[in-house]
Amino acid sequence: MNKIIDFLLKVIYYGEKGHKADISEQIKLVCQYIQKNLLNDFLLDDLAEMSNLSLSRFQHRFKEEVGIPPAEYINRSKIEKAKEMVKQDEISIQDIAYDLGFSSPLYFSTVFKKFTGVSPLAYRRG
């Protein structure tokens, strides 16, 4: 799992910044926590505390090291998980939205489409 997270962080950072990522242990631990707890809600204050940084310093360091703000990283990660879940016909789009902590299926669909280019239903239909 750690190798996958490291790889994803480097891909995201390389794609956003055009150079190799150098992720600190503090930020790496936060990313691992996010990946392992995608079905939970995240408060940026809690993630900052986990990394022993103030909220503003955490947000700055996270974006500097990962290449995107923490909230976007969380949404991208949740959408990657959602893509797996959407392929399972027995799980409704509404259930996926709520399971992943989105406030509504409409908001989930909006975020899903932003990152994939298609709605969850269109993605399911393949």
Please give the distance of CA 87 from its chain centroid, rounded to a whole number: 19
d(CA 58, CA 73): 13
d(CA 19, CA 14): 5
* The predicted structure's pLDDT at residue 98: 96
pLDDT, tens digit, 9 for 90 and up, residues 22-76: 678 999 999 999 999 998 889 999 999 999 999 999 999 999 999 999 999 999 9
Domains defined along the chain, listed by start: 2-68 (no CATH), 78-125 (1.10.10.60)
d(CA 52, CA 77): 22
* Residue for token pair 């190799």: 20
